[in-house]
Amino acid sequence: MTRLLIIGGSDAGIAAALRAREIDPGAAVTVVVADAFPNYSICGLPFYLSGEVPDWRALAHRTAEEIGMAGIDLLPEHTARAIDPVGKTVAVGDPAGRMRSLPYDRLVIATGAVPVRPPIAGIDLPGIHLLHSMEDGFRLRRYLDERAPRSAVIVGTGYIGLEMADALTRHGIAVTVLKRGQVVLSATVDATLAAAVEEELQRHEVELRSGVAVEAIETTAAGLLVVGTSGLRQETDLVLVAVGTRPASELAAAAGVATGVRGAIRVNRRMETNLPDVYAAGDCGETWHRVTGQNVYLPLGTTAHKQGRVAGENAVGGQREFAGSLGTQVVKVFDLAITRTGLRDQEATAAGFAPLTVESKAWDHKAYYPGAHEIVMRITGDRRTGQLLGAQLVGHWQAQVAKRVDILAAALFHGMKVEELNDLDLSYTPPLGSPWDVVQAGAQAWVRQCRSGGNTSLRV
């Protein structure tokens, strides 16, 4: 009987546990969970806070009872303190502070990520929130219910920051979003598509301030004062800091596990670390990028589930390899969906490709059928080989933008050329699409520009 111990009860940890039990029903699987909420969708917190999801319990991928019924032993509110890779034990503390030693034959580290805490004076004052755990969500919900803030400042323009701008606006709160750079979602899409997102935010009366860095937050008689560069002095009732995450790899590193990109745990495609019988998966570890063939840090829930599944299978004797990530992702901001897969132009250049990026527009379905929405798309391909390298799309959230990027992700996964997108047999009916789908119209625009010797990032 294999004793499999898993540290972390979110996406990767539970996926590993479930897969291990599928492959080896006799395995003794124990999951150490730092809080009381195993397998909850943290990605769903903005929609709980907006009121779109009324009951927080609905955010559970699986209940603790369902996990237990799969033969998995959960230890909620237990914290792993130290790993002994020689003795094959993990020191764990319970809610009362009592320590115990848990033995293992195989260990999966799935400790996830933690929010980046920028060096802002006063960041721990009441009324200042981060959002990365269920407790963070409950804390913010109580603040909204009890204090009824009329204004909010959001520091950060990534997914959480913009989703929360949407969520707080639904409460009638006046929202100001502060950004260091000049565009929102700078790590996701190019400037022309980011501009469309900014227009959507402004259409919903979200104020954007560019090129500012927050230095301090102070309390005043009226509430909070956010102070920063470029003369920033913004009074507000609430502050949300959402400037990204970093891998929670300290526990692993202290035990001798090697780390790599951005301090993430270094793993091979079998999710093995440098230590015998120790695996890692999810946001605490590196990700193998399928296009570049290099390890990167891409903390995504979809990736965590897949990596956890691979780690769990291999921990009980399997031989599976992680197939790689393309960084496929999507976010909804008010009525827009913003999505990408693969490499952008500058990323492709850094990886040694000769990229050409072409922007085009097409209707999500035949324009004569009511309710058509325009989708803006940027395709990146290698001008020497014609290989598809990546894509970005922005359009109405009901225009099936996410499913269209999934077509491109599948094409990328299988190494297709841009022109080969035109050979795909895609569905068509006037209320839902066109004889040449949006992705195919974008592919044709790219091929025309490539053949004519077009310049990089040319719009058509």
CA distance readout (Å), 268 to 15, 134, 290, 292: 18, 31, 13, 15
Name the active-site residue from 23, 43, 64, 372: 43
Q: Which residues contact 322 (CB under 8 A, 6 or more apart)?
A: 269, 270, 271, 288, 306, 307, 310
Two tokens at 56? 């927080």
DSSP state letter for 422: G
Residue 296: which of 330, 332, 322 has the closest Cα? 322
> Catalytic: 43?
yes
Token reading at 351: 């990886």
DSSP 372-388: --EEEEEEEEETTT-BE
User: Could you tell me the end-to-end alpha-carbon distance of the chain, in angstroms, rounded to an integer?
Assistant: 62
Q: Residue 170, class by beta-carbon neighbours within 10 Å (0-12 exposed, 13-18 middle, 19+ buried)? A: middle
Q: What span, in angstroms and rounded, lies between the C-alpha atoms of 169 and 250?
A: 37
How many angstroms separate the CA atoms of 404 and 363, rounded? 12
Nearest to 269 by CA among 248, 249, 239, 290: 290
Q: State the pairing for strand pair 174-178/3-7.
A: unpaired
Whether 415 contacts 381, CB under 8 Å: no
Pairing of strands 374-382, 355-363: antiparallel
Residues forming the active site: 43
